[in-house]
Homo-oligomer: A and B are copies of this chain.
Amino acid sequence: MTTSAFVFDHWARAHQQHVEQVLARLLPGEQILPERLHEAMRYAVLGGGKRVRALLSYAAAELAGTSRMTADASAAAVELIHAFSLVHDDMPCMDDDDLRRGKPSCHKQYDDATALLVGDALQSLAFECIAETQAPQALKQVQVLAQATGSRGMCGGQSIDLQSTGKRLTRAELETMHQYKTGALIRAATLLGAYAAPDTAPALIQCLEQYSQKMGLAFQVVDDILDATADTQTLGKTAGKDALQDKSTYVSLLGLEEAKTLVEALYAEALQLLAGYGAQADPLRGIAKFICERPF
């Protein structure tokens, strides 16, 4: 393990723990009415996940030169949106998955109606926590996050995915789907962190746009590789589902080896984008490595 990898592990763990505390404070307590809903919201959000989106917010904020505290709302909001999407995706009418982060998924632990409301309420809470900062840039952050979440973002990607099951997609179609489904929120996570600083330079925003585009794509390709190669216990969610559901993936389209080569290329391109920045970009470099080197 190199020194720089060690430093990133430390940085990542500290920020994962920190955002966990921020989320725990932000989510209403289980003793507050309606108790069951609040318990289920906490179940769905806390105590699991790699918090990649929160890390992206914090890392972008660090590069933009602002404090960790300033980026707390961004980091929490993107994790809330991500958690809401997982809860709804796992429901019987969507992917019908019983396992999430190694635990029963929300609708299995509670019930379908509660899971539906958990997702809905987590989405509202994400926007509420950004608006509460009353920061001048918060309105821009709401806008970016709402676009990334809605029909031309994450929800739209899910819809394209549903329509595509059993169909043979071209690579362009597959990229569009994932750009909506995963890429949009990864982009938003990065930009929200950058906007947490009061006056982020347009050149930096542009660099982060490109960085997050590559990371969004890499993230999905790695996901497809893991689904095809890892086992359920390692993943913490059901493995091998893509092939079972006859979904187009980067692995089915490119083959395993070419998919791995693509990830390596995206990693190199991300580092290239950050080449002009100093040590303040180390967290973003570390995240790129983390995304592209997940075990496979």
Contact = CB atoms under 8 A, between A and B. Distances in A.
A33 B156 CA distance: 8
Given A131-B142, A139-B139, A93 B112 contact: yes
A125 B127 CA distance: 12
A276 interface: no
A115 B221 CA distance: 28
Count identical subunits in the complex: 2
A116 B94 contact: yes
Interface in A141-168: 142-143, 146-147, 149-153, 155-156, 158-160, 162-163
- Do most interface residues of chain A lie in helix, strand or loop, or is the interface mixed? helix
Given A114-B162, A155-B37, A142 B120 contact: no
A134 B139 contact: yes
A84 B149 CA distance: 14
B117 A146 contact: no
B36 A163 contact: yes
A118 to B, nearest CB: 8
Nearest to A34: B159
A123 B124 contact: yes
Contacts of A257: none
Interface of A: 28, 32-34, 36-38, 41, 84, 88, 91, 93-94, 111-114, 116-117, 119-121, 123-125, 127-128, 130-132, 134, 138-140, 142-143, 146-147, 149-153, 155-156, 158-160, 162-163, 176, 180
